[in-house]
Amino acid sequence: MILPIYVYGQPVLREIAKPVDLEMEGLDQLIADMEETMKNADGVGIAAPQVGRSLRILIVSGADLSEDYPELRNFRRVMINPEVIEKSEETAEYSEGCLSVPDINCNVIRPKRITVRYINQNRETVTESFDGFGCRMVEHELDHLDGHMFVDRVSQIRRKLIGGKLRKLETRNFRPRYKIK
């Protein structure tokens, strides 16, 4: 089922998401609904707070980016209760966008490599290192689980430049291309 995407200004996007009980009723359905919602909105990642659930779940899928990033052709991860256990001091800058901040893109500096421990969709504990654009996708979604958004990581000047657009999102004074809340 396609769920509404919560956009900038919704309080759930600023909460620290709660750990997931793996025995939670409806967990697999929530994951399926999140993935369907992400695909419907042409996204490459989504976190549970973006569909109004303050839970530590994220999904990333690079298949739609594989023309520009061939290494992402089979890149798909469902992460439950992820935690970063290592990150590089070396950083990289990329332009980011977000389903919860539609029609705004900004350059964001993040660690170039991270190692994450998480539980996958099969309820197996995985420790995995990421770099390149896959790393960027995971880092972006991890931020949502801690109540952060990519616009929090841009320079003050850039933040002032996009201030009007952010206010329009908060007041819902825009035309979304997908179902929002």
Residues annotated as part of the active site: 141
Dihedral (Cα; 136, 40, 48, 110), 10-degree rounding: 10
Nearest to 33 by CA among 8, 52, 20, 16: 52
Residues 6+ apart with CB under 8 A from 135: 110, 111, 112, 113, 114
Nearest to 7 by CA among 169, 171, 174, 177: 169
Q: How many residues does the chain have?
A: 181
Distance CA 81, CA 174 (A): 33
65's tokens: 């980016």
Asked if residues 155 and 163 have their Cβ atoms less than 8 Å apart, the reply is: no
